Amino acid sequence: MVAEEIRLAAKSPSAAGVSRRELLLTTAITLIFSATSAWALDVKGSLPWPPNAGTPPTPVQPGPWVYFTAEEATAIEALVDRLIPPDPQTPGGKDAGCAVFIDRQLAGAYGKAEGLYMRGPFVDGTPQQGDQSPLTPAARYRQGLAALDKYCRATYAGKSFAELADNDKDKLLSGLEKGDVGLEGANARGFFELLLQNTQEGFFADPVYGGNRNMLAWKMIGYPGARYDYRDWVERHNEHYPLPPVSIGGRPDWVRKAG
């Protein structure tokens, strides 16, 4: 039993003469149920192995947008489909699910900049010192998409980004990338870089996160995915690996059909 393993003496703390063990108990009592708990843990006598202690990722579920508004989502789908356009062999960023991926990432810990150092003062430095923005990724998208929409409507006769011809979309993206196009109220180049990074993440990350639908990006390059044993293939040089990719979530054809 876990509680025994980590040797928490089950005495009630007394007001006076509190023992060291009891003091620790007061801080450790909530932790005994999970080795990956965020709480302090006293380990003594044996490895702290509670049952079912794993922390697998939570698969993204299809459904409505979680972070983006409908208008933002339309723009993002158009953007990711130019950064990674469809071709006869492989769908583009939109059908790969890159917009869904970004939406769910922004709604979660990543979007909130959880875990990052967000204390001030916020001062711009050299490129070598890295990004010093006080904005979270979620805020940058809200700001960047609003500024992009304003720019498009002003420049292209009231049209939104999604309504532009592919050629115009690409020219605009190129301008953002090179710093030739500025956006009012947003860091245009920074927004482009963030968007490009997140789009590629969505394309290549495991499908459990909402992008790389049907492992299409892995099939495109010949990456077998979350496989774990290549011992029989290490010394088979210059030969194509024969097995199709698998995801952390398995493969679509592994799912047992209902009924």
Partner 1 sequence: MARKLPATDVVIVGLGWTGAILAHELTASGLNVVAIERGPWRDTASDFPPAYAQDELRYHIRHDLFLRPAQVTMTFRNNVSQTALPIRSWGSFMPPNGVGGGGVHWNAETWRFQPSDFQLKTHLTQRYGEKFLPADMTIQDWGVSYDELEPCYDKFEYLCGTSGKAGNLKGQIQAGGNPFEGFRSREYPTPPQKQPYGPTLFAQAATEMGYKPFPQPSGNLSQAYTNPLGVTLGPCTYCGFCEWFGCGNYSKASPQTTILPVLVRRPNFEARTQCEVLKINLDKSGKRATGVTYIDSSGNEWEQPADLVLLCAFQLFNVHLLLLSGIGKPYDPGSGAGVIGRNYSYQVTSSVDAYFDDKIFNPFIASGAIGMCIDEFNGDNFDHGPHGFVGGGYLGAVQTNGRPLQSTRVPKGTPRWGLEWKQAVAKNYLRSYQAVTHGSCYSYRDAYCDLDPTYTDRFGRKLMRITFDFHENELKMSQYITDRLAEVVQKMGPRHFEKKPRAGHYDITVYQTTHTCGGAIMGTDPKSSALNRYLQSWDVPNLFVMGATAFPQNAGYNPTDTVGALAYWGADAIVNQYLKSPGPLVQA
Nearer to partner 1, 229 or 258 (CB): 229
**In whole angstroms, what is the distance from residue 175 CA to residue 156 CA?**
15
Instruction: Please work out, in degrees rounded to the nearest 5, the angle formed at the alpha carbon of residue 240 by the alpha carbons of 235 and 244.
Output: 110
Nearer to partner 1, 151 or 192 (CB): 192
As measured in angstroms, the least distance from the Cβ of 22 to partner 1 is 11
Nearer to partner 1, 162 or 208 (CB): 208
**In whole angstroms, what is the distance from residue 41 CA to residue 75 CA?**
47
Instruction: Please work out, in degrees rounded to the nearest 5, the angle formed at the alpha carbon of residue 9 by the alpha carbons of 7 and 10.
Output: 130
Nearer to partner 1, 66 or 220 (CB): 220
As measured in angstroms, the least distance from the Cβ of 82 to partner 1 is 7
Nearer to partner 1, 139 or 153 (CB): 139
Nearer to partner 1, 135 or 183 (CB): 135
As measured in angstroms, the least distance from the Cβ of 121 to partner 1 is 7
As measured in angstroms, the least distance from the Cβ of 184 to partner 1 is 24
The 3-state secondary structure of 218-231, one letter per residue:
HHHHCCCECCCCCC
Q: For tokens 């702290």, name the residue.
A: 48
**In whole angstroms, what is the distance from residue 210 CA to residue 105 CA?**
9
Taking residue 239's Cβ as centre, other Cβ atoms within 10 Å add up to 7
Q: Do 194 and 164 contact (CB within 8 A), yes or no?
A: no
As measured in angstroms, the least distance from the Cβ of 237 to partner 1 is 4
Nearer to partner 1, 57 or 179 (CB): 57
Q: Do 2 and 50 contact (CB within 8 A), yes or no?
A: yes
As measured in angstroms, the least distance from the Cβ of 189 to partner 1 is 13
As to burial, measured by CB atoms within 10 angstroms (0-12 exposed, 13-18 middle, 19+ buried), residue 4 is: exposed
Relative orientation angle of helices 137-155 and 98-107, to the nearest 10 degrees: 130
What distance separates the 2 farthest-apart alpha carbons in the chain?
A: 79
How far does the chain reach from its first CA to its final CA, in angstroms? Answer: 40
As measured in angstroms, the least distance from the Cβ of 36 to partner 1 is 6
